[in-house]
Amino acid sequence: MEDRRIIKTFDDLVSIYSPSFGERDLCDCLKAKLEALGASVWEDNAGDLIGGNCGNLCAFLPGELPGPPILLSAHMDTVEPAFGKKAVFNGDTITSEGSTILGADDASGIAIILEAIERIKESGLPRRSVELLFPVAEEKYGLGSAVADYTKLKAKEAFVFDLEGEIGEAANAAPSIIAFTVSIKGKASHAGFAPLEGIHAILAASRAVSRIPLGIVAPGLTCNIGTISGGKARNIIPEQCDITGEIRGFDHGAALEALEATKAAFEEEAEAIGATAIFSHKIEITAYETLAESPATLRFRRACEAEGLPCRIHKTLGGSDNNNFFLHGIEGLVLACSMHNVHSARESASLAELEKCVQLTARILTEGTP
Ligand SMILES: [Zn+2]
């Protein structure tokens, strides 16, 4: 019975087109499922704030065990191509039909949360109070959870279902991700007749790029120049050169230092030849680390042990809603929840893994320690 129910839930969720900024239909479906579970449900105004058709969906389910609520979270949006996606069940494996993503990222997470709560209800076991947050636009650097209304949340611990890997794996740290753009302005002139009258924007850019350490520039710190474009024609000194790049670092301060050094390289090299460099950046997401002795980490370890699952906690290079939760005083982990080859048409999930993760989640919510 339970097996069939999670298959149906997963199938329902996957069949709904829910791109970032267009999560309305999924949200309405989920709202109905949560209300059927007896949760009090509300939606915040994130959609208005970020230009989507839907807010973050929140819910509360009071429990019998003492202690503040535990926050469970999985995001409602998916990447593209997702239109018309459909889950294909083949033995234990679930895939898409081949031309779209599957959307196990993050339908697996949502289905696991719903099923775990149903299971506990049926078992009659007492559980902790639960807050649920289903953010929009996670795939856009957590834009939805960045503007969520945290005043209504009381949880201090979060479990975010949004990671590739074996069940029992979790991420306890993610980096700051800082995007930057540089626009170098020189002066155009004819490359043959008047080369000395031009100011070579590409020359300034290339000197700067050659100065900037790229790749792994320190442990836990990466820097990349991702695009560069400039110039109008073979025989014109290029007036303009535009560059984009990013810095990722587990230490937010170190990432900011690398950003400053990058900015200085472009500004100095531009100035050296009489060009100007306009540098701008955006902190897409801010680094966090949930420590080994944090209540969420300890709870997860105990639950894995009780379920006989090997527990493996590590850092990840990708951001998630958990980065934003941490900024609001909620310390959590991102849990592996049966999603593989995400953001590709080869994405898959597994029924056995979904089941394992349901059990693990039920254990997290029903163990006695506040
Ligand atoms: Zn995800």
What pLDDT digit, counting tens, does each position of 134-179 carry? 999 999 999 999 999 999 999 999 999 999 999 999 999 999 999 9
Question: CA angle, 365 as apex, 364 and 370 as ends, to 5°?
Answer: 90
**Alpha-carbon gap, residue 282 to 241, rounded angstroms:** 20
DSSP 92-140: TEEE--SSS---HHHHHHHHHHHHHHHHHHHHT-----EEEEE-S-TTT
pLDDT tens sequence across 55-112: 999 999 999 999 999 999 999 999 999 999 999 999 999 999 999 999 999 999 999 9
pLDDT tens sequence across 236-266: 999 999 999 999 999 999 999 999 999 999 9
**Alpha-carbon gap, residue 270 to 257, rounded angstroms:** 20
Nearest to 135 by CA among 165, 166, 158: 158
- What domains are defined for the chain? 2-174+287-366 (3.40.630.10), 176-285 (3.30.70.360)
174, amino acid identity:
A
Question: What is the model's pLDDT at position 2?
Answer: 46
**Alpha-carbon gap, residue 76 to 89, rounded angstroms:** 21
Q: What angle do the packed helices 351-366 and 2-14 form, to 10 degrees? A: 110
**Alpha-carbon gap, residue 118 to 227, rounded angstroms:** 48
* Ligand 1 midpoint to CA 280 (Å): 27
* Ligand 1 midpoint to CA 105 (Å): 5
pLDDT band at 370 (very low <50, low <70, confident <90, very high): low
Give bridge partners of residue 227 from the DSSP assignment. 244
* Ligand 1 midpoint to CA 160 (Å): 10
- Which residue bears the tokens 């493996």? 312
* Ligand 1 midpoint to CA 163 (Å): 7
Ion ligand 1 residues within 5 Å by Cβ: 105-106, 162
* Ligand 1 midpoint to CA 139 (Å): 7
Q: What is the largest CA-CA distance in the chain?
A: 86
* Ligand 1 midpoint to CA 305 (Å): 26
Question: What is the model's pLDDT at position 3?
Answer: 58
* Ligand 1 midpoint to CA 257 (Å): 29
Question: What is the model's pLDDT at position 4?
Answer: 86
pLDDT band at 186 (very low <50, low <70, confident <90, very high): very high
Provide the mean pLDDT of the chain: 96
Q: Is the pLDDT of residue 227 over 70?
A: yes
pLDDT band at 368 (very low <50, low <70, confident <90, very high): confident
**Alpha-carbon gap, residue 33 to 9, rounded angstroms:** 9
Q: Is the pLDDT of residue 197 over 70?
A: yes
Overall average pLDDT of the 209-221 stretch: 96
3-class DSSP state of 182? strand
pTM for the whole structure: 0.91
As given in the structure block, the two tokens for residue 7 are 């298959």
* Ligand 1 midpoint to CA 345 (Å): 15
* Ligand 1 midpoint to CA 75 (Å): 7
* Ligand 1 midpoint to CA 178 (Å): 19
Nearest to 148 by CA among 139, 137, 162, 159: 137
* Ligand 1 midpoint to CA 137 (Å): 10
What's the alpha-carbon Rg for the chain, to the nearest Å? 24
Could you tell me which residues come within 8 angstroms of residue 363 by beta carbon, excluding any fewer than 6 positions away? 303, 306, 307
* Ligand 1 midpoint to CA 21 (Å): 15
* Ligand 1 midpoint to CA 329 (Å): 21
Distance between start and end Cα atoms, the chain: 31
pLDDT band at 115 (very low <50, low <70, confident <90, very high): very high
pLDDT tens sequence across 301-320: 999 999 999 999 999 999 99
* Ligand 1 midpoint to CA 2 (Å): 25
Q: Tell me the CA distances in angstroms from 15 to 9, 87, 101, 234, 248, one per residue in order.
A: 10, 7, 11, 51, 34
* Ligand 1 midpoint to CA 103 (Å): 9
Give me the count of residues in the chain. Answer: 370
Spell out the alpha helix ranges (H) of 221-338.
252-272, 295-307, 321-327
* Ligand 1 midpoint to CA 138 (Å): 7
* Ligand 1 midpoint to CA 247 (Å): 21
